[in-house]
């Protein structure tokens, strides 16, 4: 592949490899996050659904990640091509960054840094995006555990990874994206991850209806705790990788705002501590140990949009509020009779809270545009963060996510159906789909086994 091609030393310098390792660690963190989600759901569901929960969750991730390869990374790079004034920006970005494009079929040292600066890092960041899409689809699956048929889950993952998330990332994520370039701030991907999937999960759980036999909360506390600990370990790995690390220059937020790696990491730790303290208080008040292990995660999500802006003491205070927002969301779900007291309270409430707090913590801070652009609509740091912009952007994304989710989920419900039959649910999804490996001693009746294919 590289025979006869020129080698560019700048692409393989010590600084370039430092950046590469930094983003590889971010990818490792996302993988830990996927393992964590698997353990969490496996520990929450009834024993008769553990195998299917694990399998369906990972297939959702693979389908979504595979679908992202079609348009996803090219669409995300579209904004950068627009900022740099590259002709036919969308077509060129899709061509350059498709799985068959030159930027993914040529070794980094053979790519001209004047055309593809930081080629290795850009290639690794593509993997980072694929893993994040997998994580998002695995989160979505968690809203329908123990009662959702596999085919609807896979179709939704296909649409989320192949269409909806690439569009949302183009609109909201990185410095030159249209909403960011107007002043909307995000760091980790609060809008594409927590807000979007929180809305989607709310609609999905509502249309599915409650489980016939809800699991005790949790069914396997040690397994749930292990999943939470994996996630807490993953967070400090993947969160810093959401910014721009430029060796010899500095660390910047994904919106091209000034930031600092040391304070981001310290603030992140304090967000976990703040959420942990608040979660512990709630746990003792409610006599429920789950809040001890979910508290730090809620604290982090409450800082996910703003951790690159916040001072450590601000991250501590905002993180402390995260579990309170989570518990309020949980109470609303119970009051509405919606069987979803995990993803929606943990992601949607703290995610919206984080987006709004970013407008307060970062008010007046410069961002947007693209590095090296000095004039025009994409001039470096020409936009400014404001609370009003955060409100408007959050409302727009909430409304858009709701419309898309309602349409897709309603169409699936009215065509192939969302939910397994009552008999299959009672017997357990392990017995329904994986009878040879079922942890449930009661096999599915023969008549129901014959009907399994129709549920796919």
Q: 368-388 pLDDT, tens per residue?
A: 999 999 999 999 999 999 999
Q: What does the pLDDT read at residue 4?
A: 62
Indicate whether 218 pLDDT > 70.
Answer: no
The percentage of the chain sitting over the pLDDT mark of 90, rounded to a whole number, equals 87
Q: Which residue has the tokens 């910047």?
A: 252
Contacts with 86 (C-beta within 8 Å, 6 or more apart), sequence order: 92, 93
* Whether pLDDT at 451 is above 70: no
- pLDDT confidence of 49, banded at 50, 70, 90? very high
pLDDT score of 438: 55
Mean pLDDT value across residues 24-52? 95
DSSP state of 443: P
**E strands along 392-446, which residues?**
none
Examine the pLDDT at 434 and tell me if it is beyond 80: yes
Question: What dihedral angle (degrees, nearest 10) is formed by the CA atoms of 160, 164, 167, 170?
Answer: -40
pLDDT of residue 447: 47
Report the pLDDT averaged over residues 136-158: 96
Contacts of 448 (CB under 8 A, 6+ apart): 421, 423, 424, 427, 432
| Percentage of residues of the chain with pLDDT beyond 70 | 94
Spatial separation of the C-alpha atoms in residues 157 and 133, rounded to whole Å: 9
pLDDT of residue 418: 97
pLDDT of 212 reads: 87
* Selection from 7-21, 320-334, 427-441 with the highest mean pLDDT: 320-334
pLDDT of residue 247: 83
Question: How high is the pLDDT of residue 254?
Answer: 95
**CA distances (Å), origin 78, targets 94, 201, 243, 373:** 8, 29, 18, 16
Token digits of residue 318: 């905002």
Mean pLDDT of 164-179: 95
Is the distance from CB of 68 to CB of 126 less than 8 angstroms?
no
Q: Which of 230, 221, 210 is nearest to 34 (CA)?
A: 230
Here the tokens at position 23 are 């983003």
Q: Reply yes or no on whether the pLDDT at 34 is more than 80.
A: yes
Q: What is the rounded average pLDDT of the residues 433-447?
A: 58
- Segment 187-216 shows an average pLDDT of 92
Cβ neighbours of 248 (radius 10 Å): 7
pLDDT at 105 over 50: yes
For 137, list phi and psi in degrees, rounded to 5: -70, -35
What domains, with CATH codes, occur in the chain? 9-419 (1.10.3430.10), 420-456 (no CATH)
Encode 182-198: b = buried (16+ Cβ within 10 Å), e = exposed.
Answer: ebbbbbbbbbbbbbbbb
- Rounded to whole angstroms, the Cα distance separating 375 from 364 reads 20
């Amino acid at each position: 592949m590289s025979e006869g091609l020129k080698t560019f030393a700048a692409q393989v310098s010590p600084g370039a490899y430092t950046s590469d390792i930094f983003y590889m660690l971010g990818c490792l963190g996302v993988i830990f996050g996927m393992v964590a989600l698997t353990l969490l759901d496996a520990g929450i569901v009834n024993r008769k659904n553990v195998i299917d929960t694990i399998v369906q969750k990972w297939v959702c991730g693979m389908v979504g990640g595979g679908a992202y390869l079609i348009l996803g990374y090219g669409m995300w790079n579209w904004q950068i091509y627009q900022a740099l004034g590259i002709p036919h920006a969308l077509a060129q970005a899709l061509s350059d960054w498709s799985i068959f494009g030159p930027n993914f079929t040529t070794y980094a040292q053979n790519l001209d840094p004047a055309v593809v600066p930081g080629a290795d890092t850009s290639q690794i960041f593509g993997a980072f995006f694929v893993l994040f899409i997998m994580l998002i689809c695995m989160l979505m699956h968690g809203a329908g555990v123990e009662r959702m048929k596999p085919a609807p889950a896979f179709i939704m993952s296909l649409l989320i990874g192949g269409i909806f998330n690439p569009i949302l990332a183009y609109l909201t994520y990185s410095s030159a994206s249209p909403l960011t370039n107007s002043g909307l701030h995000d760091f980790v991907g609060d809008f594409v991850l927590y807000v979007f999937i929180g809305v989607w999960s709310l609609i999905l759980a509502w249309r599915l209806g409650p489980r016939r036999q809800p699991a005790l909360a949790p069914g396997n506390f040690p397994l749930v705790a292990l999943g939470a600990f994996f996630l807490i370990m993953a967070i400090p790995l993947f969160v810093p990788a959401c910014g721009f690390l430029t060796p010899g220059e500095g660390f910047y937020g994904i919106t091209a705002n000034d930031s600092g790696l040391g304070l981001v990491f310290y603030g992140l730790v304090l967000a976990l501590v703040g959420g942990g303290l608040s979660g512990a208080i709630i746990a003792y008040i409610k006599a429920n140990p789950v809040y001890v292990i979910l508290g730090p995660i809620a604290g982090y999500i409450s800082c996910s949009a703003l951790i690159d802006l916040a001072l450590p003491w601000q991250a501590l205070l905002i993180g402390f509020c995260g579990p309170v927002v989570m518990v309020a969301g949980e109470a609303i779900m119970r009051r509405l009779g919606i069987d979803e007291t995990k993803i929606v309270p943990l992601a949607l409430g703290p995610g919206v809270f984080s987006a709004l707090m970013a407008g307060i913590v970062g008010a007046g801070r410069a961002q947007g545009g693209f590095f090296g652009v000095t004039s025009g609509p994409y001039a470096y740091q020409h936009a400014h963060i404001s609370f009003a912009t955060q409100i408007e952007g959050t409302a727009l994304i909430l409304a858009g996510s709701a419309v898309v989710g309602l349409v897709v989920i309603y169409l699936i419900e009215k065509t192939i159906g969302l939910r397994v039959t009552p008999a299959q649910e009672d017997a357990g999804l392990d017995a329904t789909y994986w009878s040879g490996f079922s942890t449930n001693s009661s096999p599915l009746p023969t008549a129901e086994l014959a009907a399994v294919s129709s549920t796919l």
